Structure 1
C-alpha cells in the first residue's frame, strides 16, 4: 500500500466530509511517458491499460492505495504559554488536532509567532505536511476517460448537488470544472484520471 497527498479545494473537502464526494477527476498531462519503456502513451493507450487493471503508469496508484487530503489550513496552533515547549520539541504539536481548516467556514485564525509577531492568515494546501491532514481516502478504482464522458451518477459522486446552472448535475460539474481550469477547458474535452475512493478513519476502516 502506498500513500500520496492530493490537493482538494474547500468545496471538495466539504463534500467529502458530508459523504457526498467519492470521485475526483484530474487532467492527464501530455506527453505522458511509459514508466518502463519511456515511450509516449496516448489517452486511448492509458485507458486500455487501466481497463485491463494495469496500474503501472497511474500516478495516483491502484485500488487499495491511500490518498491523504491536502487542504488550506493553519497550524499548529496552541496557547502562547506553550511556546517554550513547542520551541524545544515541536513533535507533540504536529497533529491535526492542533490545526484549523478553511473548509470549516471559519475566518483565518490570529496567532503569535515565537518573536511575538501577530499573524492572521491561512497556509496554502500545497504546503500542508502529512501530519496536518485530517482526511484519509482509500482508492477503490482508477480509470482514464474523456472529461465529457461523465454521467449523471458520476457528477453526483463528484459531490454535485442542485446547481442553478441547468437541469442536470453534469451542468453543475461543468461549471465547477471551468471555474478551476478555465472557460475553454470543458470544450477541449481532455483525457482525465478518474479516481474513486472511500473515506477511512484513523483505524483504517471506512467511515459511514
Structure 2
C-alpha cells in the first residue's frame, strides 16, 4: 500500500463529498500504439503496477501505473487558511490559530480569502482520503453508462442552448462525461479516444494521517 496525492476540480470535490463520485479517469502516459481487438492484463499478481497489452498471444505494449488497488489517495483542492496574519503557505503551516477552508465550499464569513491552487496544498490540510478498490486500462469512449454516472455527473433537467454542461448529465451520461473531458482537456480531446487508467475508490471524509492514527 502506498500513499499518493491527487488533484480534483471544485465540482468534482463536491461530488466526492456528496457520495456521487466513486470513479476517476486519468490519461495513460505515454500513450501506447497498439493494434485493435487486443486486451490489457496484469501478468504478475505480485506486481500489480505492471500491465501488458496482448493480441494473438503476442505482447504489443507495456504500461506501468503509479496507483494500484489498496493505495490511499489524499485529495488536493484549492484552499486557504483563516489564521491571523497568514499570508503564505509556510505561515499557514505554522499558524497556531485558525483553520483551513476550501474553495469548493461556501465561505460567506471569508469573502476576501486568498485561495491557493490545489497543487500547493500540503498533506496535513487535505480533508478527503480515497481508498482505491479497482484499476483498469481502457479507451476513454469505452466508459459504461454506470461508470459515467459514478464519475460524479448529477442529473439535471434538460438545458437548452448549453450542450454537455461539464458537471451534469442530460439524457446520455456518457455524452456528458465526454463533454466534461473536453472541458478539462480541451475541445476535441474526447474524440481522440485516448487510453485511460480508470480508478474506482471508497471516499473517507478525513485527513489521511487521521486515518492512520485510527487504524493504529
Among 80, 91, 110, the alignment partner of 1:74 is 80
Q: CA RMSD in A?
A: 3.3
- Counterparts of 1:194 and 1:157 in 2: how far apart (Å)? 11
| 5+ long unaligned stretches in structure 2 | 51-63, 159-163, 165-169
After TM superposition, list the pairs within 5 Å mapping 1:90-101 onto structure 2. 90=94, 98-101=99-102
State whether residues 83 and 95 of structure 2, in contact with CA within 8 Å, keep that contact through their aligned partners in structure 1. no
| Residues 40-59 of structure 1 deviation map (CA, whole Å, 9 limit, x = unaligned) | x8598893238978324211
Query: Which residue in 2 is equivalent to 1:179?
Result: 183
Residue 159 of structure 1 corresponds to 152
Which ranges of structure 1 fall in alignment gaps of 5 or more residues?
33-40, 111-118
Distance 1:2 1:167, change over 3 A: same
Question: Tell me, what secondary structure is at the counterpart of 2:21?
Answer: coil
Aligned CA distance change for structure 1 residues 141 and 50 (closer, same or farther; 3 Å): farther
TM-score by length of 1: 0.73
1:128-166 CA deviation, whole Å, 9 max, x = no partner? 110110001100011110000011100111011225444
Work out the number of aligned pairs and report it: 180
Give me the whole-angstrom Cα distance separating, in 1, the residues matched to 2:193 and 2:109.
37
Structure 2: distance between partners of 1:138 and 1:43 = 33
TM-score, normalised relative to structure 2: 0.71
| Contact 2:79–2:117 (Cα < 8 Å) also in 1 | yes
Choose between structure 1 and 2: higher strand proportion. 2
Structure that is richer in helix per residue = 1
Q: What CA distance in whole angstroms lies between the structure 2 residues aligned with 1:195 and 1:125?
A: 20
C-alpha displacement of 1:25: 0.5
The match for 2:65 is 58
